[in-house]
Amino acid sequence: MKKLKCLSLVMLVALMLTGCGGKDSVSNLNSPEKVVARYCDILVNGNYGDILDIADLPESEFITKDIINGAKANFRERFLEENEEAISCTYTMATEDDEKVSYKLVINESSTKTLDIKKSNNKAIIDDIYVEANIYSPLGSSVTVDNIDISKYKISETSNIYDNSAVEHYTITVLSDYNYSVKSSHPLLSTSQEANFTDDEEGLLVFFSYYVGYKNSPEKNGYGENMTEITIKEKYYNEIEKFVDETIVPIIKDVSDNKDISKYNQYFVDGDATILSNKINPKYLSDSFPIETISLYGENKVEILIRYAHSSSNGGSDFHCNLMIIRNGDNWKIESVR
């Protein structure tokens, strides 16, 4: 009886060590051959999303176990679009070097492919499953990806890729097949902008609009079909409108009447009102001075486009000036004019 108990105990330990004869779990894939065998098993069983479990992935707080599981359905769909369904899969080792082992796979006894297994971590090297994603957001904004603040991933404050407006550029490593939630909040805007990554020539991209639009109407950037409509906060828009009506318009009118405008120097960052008078053509002054666009240039800085004149000659043409204005406390000042 003691011999039987001892024998049973030995058999139990042996079964535990061998996994009871079942398929290797991801944690037991401790050799390149076990990984390629698991890959073939995934193909034949049609569980294509599980390829992500054995794939070589970079360290990234945007590639977690939950995100990998959340990406499996999209990965499976893309895999089926790019590959035939597998009924059989066999493999033989082809080459080996210091970094990887390459296997030749035969799928359905006809098509072949190569699968590389990284030796340092026994992971399969799979193309196009992760990518460096680019995010552009107005200067002064706060950006999150899946509720994670990405300020530490900012690589530059640069000119907009379309014009000269200021944007912050971030780069993060993400899974290609996961639907990340990207949000941008700006202190001057009444709502956050939300988007998912879209495909671009340079890879995955989110470009948040810096452009508020005509008369505070909601506008969307060219990349923004899936973005939230944005408006500037009413408090700031009213301040800007008042600044235009009570300060900028009188300056323009005094320029038109050839009056001394030095009394307005206090409203300019550099104390020089002539930077505005040098940009004004007073010949066709309008009766109204609408703000046509407001563009975000920082936490307390915007550029406003004002139409100040119209000529009916030559089919009609409008005269505009772009003023960069900056908020200091509750007051606005003119920083530059173009």
User: What is the spatial distance between Cα 36 and Cα 227, in angstroms, rounded to a whole number?
Assistant: 42
User: What is the spatial distance between Cα 142 and Cα 187, in angstroms, rounded to a whole number?
Assistant: 9
Give the pLDDT of residue 315.
53
Q: Can you point out the beta strands (E) in 59-165?
A: 89-96, 100-107, 111-118, 123-125, 130-138, 142-145, 148-149, 154-159
- The mean of the pLDDT values for the chain is 84
Give the pLDDT of residue 127.
93
Rounded average pLDDT over 246-272: 93
Out of 202-211, 226-235, 252-261, which region has the weakest mean confidence (pLDDT)?
226-235
Highest mean pLDDT among 93-97, 237-241, 253-257 belongs to 93-97
The answer to whether the beta carbons of residues 106 and 205 sit under 8 Å apart is: no
Nearest to 286 by CA among 310, 304, 306, 305: 310
User: What is the spatial distance between Cα 75 and Cα 68, in angstroms, rounded to a whole number?
Assistant: 10
Tell me the domains of the chain and their CATH numbers.
21-125 (3.10.450), 130-210 (2.60.40), 234-337 (3.10.450)
Distances (CA, A) of 139 to 52, 146, 150, 167, 184: 36, 20, 14, 5, 11
Distance from CA of residue 55 to its chain's centroid?
Answer: 24
Flag whether pLDDT at 180 surpasses 50. Answer: yes
